[in-house]
Amino acid sequence: MKVVIVMPARNVERTLERTYNDIPGEIADEIILVDNNSRDRTVEVAKNLGIRVFCHPTDRGYGGSQKSLYTEALKAGADIVVMLHPDYQYDASLLPEMIKLITLGQADCVIGSRIRTREETLAGGMPLYKYIANRTLTLMENIGTGSNLSEFHTGFRAYSRKLLETIPWQLNSNNYVFDSQMLLQIIAFGFKILEVQVPTRYFKEASSPNIIESTIYGSSTLWALFRFILHRAGIKQALFTPVFVEK
């Protein structure tokens, strides 16, 4: 199966090479990076590493970067697409475990959960307010969807081609809430999600929404969850409705 790693990037010149060097050799057939209007040497570093690069001349947002990445990965013939943030926040050495679960047909989506114990997560640098918000939102999303995930808000994810060809992710936000909408869509469409445990890494160079962006993200996530509940109650929502394409 063809594995493509995708990286949504913005100003990651200081962490990109470290992230790349942690990727186990020969695990991926191709690595694609979308540069979202960086102001540093991100594109130069990526090209020197042999990464395939696409550039957004204007800021299209985190969700907008994912839309470009999944489009290019599917065009490239990917059977499995893994999103890895190039800011060294997630442990790329766990990629084989995530990919294997999809290859064996045990899951359609595998996410890297940073939530094991509160002490461990906070020791990894996650700010207390983010930890509380993460746990609160995850609890509400589990209740609203009937799921039992330890974390809904990780950016370390692997998807099967079938999943990406089925859910209407093109309708999602261009902002951070794209990730929440994706998981809600995956649940709505009945795809199987599994988790692997990953260490928490928060440090100065790692990208992270500020408190204002986090507040907007939280409220947008709750709105997406409300729409999910409405859809399950029979009030159809486009985000959770199959898109049929005439062939």
Q: 59-118 pLDDT, tens per residue?
A: 999 999 999 999 999 999 999 999 999 999 999 999 999 999 999 999 999 999 987 655
What is the band of 247 on the pLDDT scale with cuts at 50, 70, 90?
A: very low
* 32, β-bridge pairs: 6, 52
| Residue 79: strand, helix, or coil | coil
Sequence letter at residue 41:
R
Cα gap 20→144, rounded to integer Å = 37
pLDDT above 50 for 246: no
Q: Contact at 8 Å (CB) between 8 and 37? A: no
Cα gap 61→176, rounded to integer Å = 8
**201 class by beta-carbon count within 10 Å (0-12 exposed, 13-18 middle, 19+ buried):** middle
Q: 169-212 pLDDT, tens per residue?
A: 999 999 999 999 999 999 999 999 999 998 877 656 656 667 78
Listed residue (109, 110, 105) closest to 1, CA to CA: 105
Cα gap 71→76, rounded to integer Å = 9
Cα gap 42→118, rounded to integer Å = 34
Cα gap 8→203, rounded to integer Å = 18
What is the phi/psi pair of residue 100, to 5°?
-60, -40
Q: Contact at 8 Å (CB) between 68 and 34? A: yes
Question: Domain 3-240 belongs to what architecture?
Answer: Alpha-Beta Complex (3.90)
**Tokens matching residue 102:** 């999809």
Q: Contact at 8 Å (CB) between 8 and 66? A: yes
